Amino acid sequence: AQVGKGRHLKKVMLDNDGREWVFYVGGLTLYGSKHYLKGNYEYLVQQGKHLLLGTLHGKLMAYDTVNDRFTELAVPGGIRQINDMIALGNRQVLVATERGIAWVDMLSQKVTLRSVQTPEQPSPAVKKMFVDGRHRLWIFTESPGVQMFAKGMDTPRWMQTPPTIDPSYTRSKTFFI
C-alpha cells in the first residue's frame, strides 16, 4: 500500500501502551507525532517504558516513552545485520546478529556482544531465538543443531539435530522445546 508522500507501508505495530508504530520502506514513524526515522526498520521490542527499534542493517535506536526521546545505541563488533529481537527478563533485549547475540540493557543502554560459536557449532550468525517458560534462551544458527543458554551458564550448550530437520518448526500443535 502506498501511504503519504510516496511511502510504501510495510506493517503497523502496537507497543504495550497502545501507540501505533508505522513501518515504511525506508523509514518508521510514530503515528500522530512529529517523529520520523530514516532506515529500514523491521523490529520493535518494549521493556517497561523503553522501546528498542532495529533495522535489518544493524542500527539500534532506543526510545524513552517518558521523555519522548530517541537515542541511537553504539553497536559493538561491526554488526551489520539484525535477524531477530526478543525481550528477556524485565530490562534486557537480545538482538540476533551475524556476529552473535547483542545483549542490550535498556536502562543503561549498554550493548555487549556474546559469541555463540563452539567447536560443534562454528557459525557465529544467529538466525532466530526463543525464550521458553523457564527463561532459557534457545538459539538457532546457520549450523545444524540448536543451542540452549540458561541463567548461570557461561557459554551456550549445543544440542545436535539431524541436518534434514528444520528445528524452528514442528508438526505438532505445541513447540518441541
142 vs 82: which has the higher pLDDT: 82
Q: How much of the chain exceeds pLDDT 90, in percent? A: 52
pLDDT for residue 177 is more than 50: no
Calpha distance 94→153 (Å, rounded): 16
3-state class of 41 per DSSP? strand
Instruction: Yes or no: say if 41 and 51 are a contact pair by the CB < 8 Å rule.
Output: no
pLDDT for residue 166 is more than 80: no
Q: Which residues contact 166 (CB under 8 A, 6 or more apart)?
A: none
* Local confidence band at 89 (pLDDT 50, 70, 90 cut-offs): confident
* Local confidence band at 168 (pLDDT 50, 70, 90 cut-offs): low
- The edge-to-edge listing of strands for the beta sheet with 41-47 is 41-47, 50-55, 60-64, 69-73
- Please tell me whether the overall predicted TM-score, pTM, comes out greater than 0.85 for this model: no
